[in-house]
Amino acid sequence: MAKPRSGHFWPHFHSWRQLSGERAHLALKSELSLNLYQSMATRKEYIWDSSAGAGYACSSHSGAIFNVEYSADGRTLVAATENRKVLIFNANTHELCKEIPAAHKSCVNLVKFLDSRTFVTCSDDCTLAVWDLRNCGQKVKSLKGHRNWVKSIEYDSSQGVLLSAAYDQTVLKWDINSSSSCPQNVLQIKNMLRMVLSPDSTKMIISTADGYLLIIHDLDLNHLAEDLRDFVPDLYRIMQEDCSYGIDMGSWVNPLFTSHRNRVELISDFPEMDKNGYITTLDVHPFGWAVLSRNTAANELSEWTCVHDIMASDKPLELKPIKRPQNCNGLRPKSSAQSSTLSDSRDNSSDLSQLSDSSVIVISNQIGSTQPHTTLVRQSKRCSQSNQNDAIYVYKNSPRLKYYIEELNESQGFIKELCFSGDGRVVCSPYQFGYRLLSFDSKCSEMSDCVSNEPKVLYELKRSLCHPDSVVTTKFSPTHCQIASGCLKGRVVFSQPIL
């Protein structure tokens, strides 16, 4: 006797099992995901070119596609372009619906949806713009406050505040529901490149040009500026390399690593060939387990994709003793081989009048960076008057690297936007004239099912070459099994399972 059919379309049946409390076997879930992702492909009708695209006719060439972003319901895709345009697509029909021809005065870098109809763009013109899909003829609001290219946008829906980060090394907080457009400077980090929030907005992750990540756990935006006012991550990294110069920075900074609010953590373990590189792209695992990054090595000869664990750990932090230099004389050590010099606040009194309430150390260094920069540090009286024989301690960075893979070092100078899939099983990374789908193992398992004690190489599930030029941005749909990608020639390609 033949087995009766259930009459359910498989994805609907799978969802029904979950709602009814039935648990599918892990191997079955992985096999289904593996088959779906390996069948991702495109067709002619899934491809849009600014010169001959389907749907709404584009007024002129869009230039490179720098970023693509889906709305929360997955129905709309918005693309940020080199030629100041914003392109709006119907993700179901793959057609261009609308065009904002002069969204900014310079290239558009990024798009971020706040809900299913409101989105924000940022640009090299140092501004952000709020848009409504129902009326794209004019901006809902223009946000001005940065002094350099804006590269990151995040939204904390629990507080209704917008965050932006730019190459002016600041993170600004905007209350977009207020009539005022004045931002609040909540953080300033030297050599900051990108900033993202975890899905639950409890962590802020910042990438730098000095080869490390800054994680802020238990994020409290209302007290962030106050809590991290005196924290200088690059100086702390110098001390972790046994360069103390007689300054006991750890005594007033170390408590930030164990704080119950805005607790900081530095991540610096990368593949050996990727040390001290530029971390240009970030994305967070949809469950908040890990951060995904795309990095260019300091010598600019290689590129890497890395996955670092960012979950809170019960393992106690390890303190590391730092040797005091024998020739240390207060705050005036001699020049070192690492091109670092120190002077006290008296040598800079004209520039540091606002910091007269505490001692100030001025440090100019080139460690971990191709360009020198200057850091100002307020030094507490307790630290400046500490005994020269006292030991100096700083926290060691915990090993966090879980997965990595080397990428092709092509189209140098362009940021490559990579992303996690909605289920967190797959990474989509720009690769040549297309993209690669990378997983944690050959079975497309979840990250939690295949973590090892040692870093492992990501597994390549699939490679798709579907563009006429280098791809610089990719994005998974939040609701459908679909990928959007954009290239330097202005093409947008939709990929989805074709069985």
Question: How does pLDDT run along the chain (499 residues), one tens digit per residue?
Answer: 444 444 433 344 445 445 555 554 556 678 899 999 999 999 999 999 876 655 555 656 779 999 999 999 999 999 999 999 999 999 999 999 999 999 999 999 999 999 999 999 999 999 999 999 999 999 999 999 999 999 999 999 889 999 999 999 999 999 988 877 799 999 999 999 999 999 999 999 999 999 999 999 999 999 999 999 989 998 899 888 877 665 677 778 999 999 999 999 999 999 988 777 999 999 999 999 999 999 999 999 999 999 999 998 888 899 988 876 655 444 433 333 333 333 333 343 334 334 334 444 443 333 333 343 334 444 444 444 445 556 788 899 999 999 999 999 999 889 999 999 999 999 999 999 999 999 999 999 999 998 788 999 999 999 999 999 999 999 999 999 999 999 999 999 999 999 7
pTM of the model: 0.83
Same domain, 201 and 82: yes
Q: DSSP of 352-399, one letter per residue? A: -GGGTTSEEEEEEE-TTSSS-EEEEEEE-HHHHTS-TTS-EEEEPPPP
Residue-wise pLDDT tens digits, 153-202:
999 988 999 999 999 999 999 998 887 779 999 999 999 999 999 999 99
227 and 315, same domain (yes or no): yes
pLDDT attached to residue 69: 98
Cα 90 to Cα 92: distance, rounded to the nearest angstrom: 5
114 in a structural domain: yes
On whether residue 4 sits in a domain, the answer given is: no
Residue 244 domain-assigned (yes or no): yes
Rounded CA-CA distance 293/272 in Å is 16
Q: How many residues does the chain have?
A: 499
6 in a structural domain? no
Residue 83 covered by a domain: yes
Same domain for 349 and 367?
yes
Mark whether 348 and 241 lie in a shared domain: no
| Bridging pattern class, strands 401-407 and 456-457 | parallel
Same domain, 346 and 458: no
Contact 62, 80 (CB under 8 A): no
Same structural domain for residues 276 and 403?
yes
State phi, psi for 409 to the nearest 5 degrees: -90, 75
Structural domain span for residue 415:
40-319+396-497
pLDDT in tens, 295-341: 999 999 999 999 999 998 888 899 988 876 655 444 433 333 333 33
Instruction: Give the SS3 label for residue 218.
Output: coil
My answer on whether 282 and 361 are in the same domain is no
Q: Are 433 and 487 found together in one domain? A: yes
Tell me which amino acid residue 333 is. P
Q: Is residue 31 part of a domain?
A: no
Residue 328 contacts by C-beta under 8 Å, 6 or more apart in sequence?
245, 246, 388
The CATH number of the domain holding residue 487 is 2.130.10.10
Q: Are residues 426 and 282 in the same domain?
A: yes
Q: Which of 368, 389, 410 is the last residue of a domain?
A: 389
Residue of 164, 399, 417, 202 lying closest to 288 (CA atoms): 202
From the number of C-beta atoms within 10 Å of its C-beta (0-12, 13-18, 19+), residue 360 rates as buried
One-character DSSP codes across 118-140: EEEEEETTSEEEEEETTBTTS-S
Q: How many CB atoms lie within 10 A of CB 305?
A: 24
CA distance 129 to 11: 38
Structural domain contains residue 1: no
Find where tokens 């006991």 sit.
248
Residue 447 lies in a domain: yes
Pair 259, 381 in one domain: no
The type of residue at 127 is T
Helix (H, G, I), strand (E, B) or coil at 471: strand
Same domain, residue pair 104 and 213: yes
Number of domains, the chain: 2
Element (H, E) at 80: strand 76-81
**Domain end call among 345, 373, 389:** 389
- Out of 389, 404, 421, pick the residue that ends a domain: 389
Same domain, 251 and 338: no
